[in-house]
Amino acid sequence: MGVTEPVKIKINRVDLAWLAGLMEGEGTFYLNNQHPHRSETYLYPKVVIGMTDEDIIKRVHQIMRFGKVWGPYRPPSRSQHQASWHWLPRKSTEALATMKLLQPHLGQRRQEQIQRVLEGHTLRHLPPEPIIEITD
């Protein structure tokens, strides 16, 4: 297995404040289960934000410069509801970098939620620390 490159995030203070506020209210940080082998369960970090505002989700993607926008999504059981859009990092390293970027800028409950993920994931190879550059 090759060496994983660190995730690089360059973000200005205004976008960081906007993103932190949005993720405080609409984001989710959690451990997801993966069962690649019957005898083992892996817990890997996930970040997701979803809403019916496509432009807001696309702005998150533009700011972060990684991840994927999913949508429109409308579960068949809720066909009368508006379609939703979602942004999520595609790689565990991107999810961890997103959490480390946002954690100091969130409220206590979200900070604790992220800390549980950071301490609880079972990635086999710890990724290098992300390179985060905050500009004016």
Segment 63-81 shows an average pLDDT of 87
CA distances in angstroms from 39 to 12, 35, 42, listed in the order given: 44, 8, 10
Q: What is the pTM of this model?
A: 0.90
C-alpha 79/C-alpha 2 separation (Å) is 44
Task: Kindly indicate whether the domain formed by 8-135 is annotated with CATH number 3.60.20.10.
Answer: no
Report whether pLDDT(1) > 60.
no
CB 80 within 8 A of CB 58: no
Mean pLDDT, the chain, integer: 92
User: Residue 93 — very low, low, confident or very high, per pLDDT cuts 50/70/90?
Assistant: very high
